[in-house]
Amino acid sequence: MSYRCGIGYDLHRLAEGRKLIIGGIEVPFDKGPVGHSDGDVVAHAMCDALFGAAGLGDIGTHFPDTDPKWKGANSLLFLEHARKLLDEKHLTIEHVDVVVILEKPKLGPHCPKMREVLAKSLGVSAEKVHLKAKTNEGVDAVGRGEAIAAHVVATLSS
Ligand SMILES: [Zn+2]
């Protein structure tokens, strides 16, 4: 058995009047990510981590933000597509570990649902998806509530 790790990072600006979609679910809040798709930083960073581990480029290679097809897209579709590509390369998702950085609102209560939804898109059990949420201690754009960011590490085996 051989193992590969990949890392992914994403950040979106937050603006009023946008839905706050994180980890495949809508979290009630008055601001949401600005983006071509639904702006789900967790799904996007996760795609990059998976593509990185698989040696398959990055999210922009597979889902260019110039393509009208992806305008307002549910980012779980990106994860489902990534999973298909991994299947074709006979790669198994062992684990994904996520850090979401957001000043407000508190994400802790939403984490179990996010894990469940993300795991379903990846075709793995929820215990293979780990999620942590933290603030940026009031510092920088994320700390001022102007942006949301996520880091993901994915481990694959073959
Ligand atoms: Zn993104």
Q: What is the pLDDT of residues 124-154, one digit of tens each?
A: 999 999 999 999 999 999 999 999 999 999 9
Q: How many CB atoms lie within 10 A of CB 65?
A: 12
What's the longest Cα–Cα distance across the chain?
Answer: 48
Measure CA of the first residue to CA of the last residue in the chain; give whole Å: 6
**Ligand 1 centroid, distance to 25 Cα (angstroms):** 15
Is residue 112 reached through a cis peptide bond, with omega within 30 degrees of 0 on the bond before it?
A: no
Q: What is the pTM assigned to this prediction?
A: 0.96
Q: How far apart are CA 46 and CA 59, in angstroms?
A: 9
**Ligand 1 centroid, distance to 157 Cα (angstroms):** 26
**Ligand 1 centroid, distance to 1 Cα (angstroms):** 32
**Ligand 1 centroid, distance to 47 Cα (angstroms):** 10
Residues 6+ apart with CB under 8 A from 69: none
Give the sign of the dihedral formed by CA 115, CA 131, CA 49, CA 136.
positive
Paired strand residues for 156? 4, 93
**Ligand 1 centroid, distance to 12 Cα (angstroms):** 6
Q: What is the pLDDT of residues 9-50, one digit of tens each?
A: 999 999 999 999 999 999 999 999 999 899 999 999 999 999
The residue that leads in pLDDT, 99 or 66, is 99
**Ligand 1 centroid, distance to 40 Cα (angstroms):** 6
Residue 68 banded pLDDT, cuts 50, 70, 90:
confident
**Ligand 1 centroid, distance to 102 Cα (angstroms):** 14
Tokens describing residue 135: 């603030």
**Ligand 1 centroid, distance to 49 Cα (angstroms):** 13
**Ligand 1 centroid, distance to 156 Cα (angstroms):** 22
